[in-house]
Amino acid sequence: MSFGARVEIRLDALKHNFEVLQGTVPGSRVMVAVKANAYGHGLVTVSRALAHHADAFAVARLSEALRLREAGIEKTIVLLGGVTNRDELALAVTHCCALVIHSEYQVALLEATKTVPVYVWLKIDTGMNRLGVAVEDANGLISRLRQIGCDRNLGLMTHFANADDVSDPTSKQQLQRFLELADHFDGDVSVANSAALLGWQALLNAPGMWHHTGETWIRPGLSLYGVSPLVGKTAADLNLRPVMQFESTLIAVKPVRQGDRVGYGGHWLAQHDSVLGIVAAGYGDGYSRCLPAATPLLVNGRRVPLAGVISMDLCAVDLGPNARDAVGDPVTLWGESLPVEEIAQCAATTAYPLLCGVTDREGRLS
């Protein structure tokens, strides 16, 4: 076994989380978000594990879809950003990708090339002001798409900006705007990412909420990987289990004297005599340099604080004056017993960029 930082992916936890999420909107179809290397968990590893569970996989880039097809994944793959030109469109169609259409130019592209993709999701901007067509423009675009032959294979989707905050009324307003269209829609609809599923479950399941004639699709990403998308709720509160175990090893242990400085820039000053552990994990592995001193790690299952600035391949921890830890002992950067949500808080960020940043230097994820 290598002593370097490595990622263990718990597929039983992944499948458990899938079932929990599928249960949030009973009867729904599940589009599993595996973009950005499945949030650092391994695009192919995760997709193969859920190949029989998921109804579709969602990616951000055509290159991700092509990697999935090369790996033998046959399920529908949704390109969340659609395509931007004829070459991409041709490849996407050859590889049977479903396309999100978020702008008029993409409808024009289908018209000009007389292309009918296996499936088209028309994305409606209900207030996030990122991708999506205006509610007022949607019906015109739906007619154009129907004219070129998109009929049963046309769905409507939208995306919430603030679903992680259950006290923020914006999500309800976005849903209301979406329903103006969806209520009269003859086809499938999709609104909910992780935060919407777990924070707005009651609203999504309210009796009489939906009047479209097709399926309701959910689009979990973060929660599937066992991470809470909600402010103030842990994964355990939501019955989710962490999928990624980010581990390394102590490769040096040494005394440090009061007043000694540690690491690049000498930013960390020993307040008392202690024992330092040097861990084989750094930002080259995805252990973000944004994490400040005192960020917790587990050494032999015991919480210890980060000492000094994280370097490319290494970081230091303060093991405490009475430490008995030794070279070769296990270190957990995040995972079970040390939620990545908590680590993210230390750097005033979210779990998303930390997970996506894992580089898999040891090559275990594909």
Ligand X SMILES: *Cc1c(COP(=O)(O)O)cnc(C)c1O
Active site members: 35, 264
Closer CB to ligand X, 222 or 281, in the complex: 222
Interactions with ligand X, residue window 67-96 (CB under 6 A)? 80
Name which of 174, 190, 183, 194 is nearest 130 in CA terms: 174
Residue 160 class from Cβ within 10 Å (0-12 exposed, 13-18 middle, 19+ buried)?
buried
Asked if 229 touches ligand X (CB under 6 A), the answer is yes
Among 37, 47, 194, 245, binds ligand X (CB under 6 A): 194
DSSP 281-320: --TTTT--TTPPTT-EEEETTEEEEEES---SS-EEEE--
Q: How many residues bind ligand X (CB under 6 A)?
A: 13
x/- letters, 9..38, toward ligand X (CB under 6 A) = ------------------------x-x---
Closer CB to ligand X, 76 or 300, in the complex: 76
User: Which region, judged by CB under 6 A, interacts with ligand X, from 111-119, 221-229, 290-298, 331-339?
Assistant: 221-229
Residue 218 near residue 30, CB atoms below 8 Å? yes
User: Which region, judged by CB under 6 A, interacts with ligand X, from 64-72, 192-200, 285-293, 335-343?
Assistant: 192-200
User: Which region, judged by CB under 6 A, interacts with ligand X, from 4-12, 113-121, 216-224, 258-266?
Assistant: 216-224
In angstroms, rounded to a whole number, what is the distance separating the alpha carbons of residues 117 and 246?
A: 39
Interactions with ligand X, residue window 111-170 (CB under 6 A)? 159
Q: For ligand X, which residue has the nearest CB?
A: 221
Closer CB to ligand X, 195 or 331, in the complex: 195
Which SS3 state, helix, strand or coil, does residue 165 take? coil
Who's near 230: CB < 8 A, 6+ residues apart?
Answer: 164, 166, 195, 198, 199, 238
How many other β-carbons are positioned within 10 Å of the β-carbon of residue 287? 29
**To the nearest whole angstrom, how small is the minimum distance from the Cβ of residue 226 to ligand X?**
12
In angstroms, rounded to a whole number, what is the distance separating the alpha carbons of residues 106 and 201?
A: 32
Name which of 85, 47, 39, 86 is nearest 66 in CA terms: 47
**To the nearest whole angstrom, how small is the minimum distance from the Cβ of residue 184 to ligand X?**
23
**To the nearest whole angstrom, how small is the minimum distance from the Cβ of residue 350 to ligand X?**
10
Q: What is the amino acid identity at position 335?
A: G
What sign does the CA torsion over 233, 239, 243, 249 have?
positive
Among 28, 174, 193, 248, binds ligand X (CB under 6 A): 193
**To the nearest whole angstrom, how small is the minimum distance from the Cβ of residue 292 to ligand X?**
25
- Residues forming the site for ligand X (CB under 6 A): 33, 35, 80, 159, 193-195, 219-223, 229
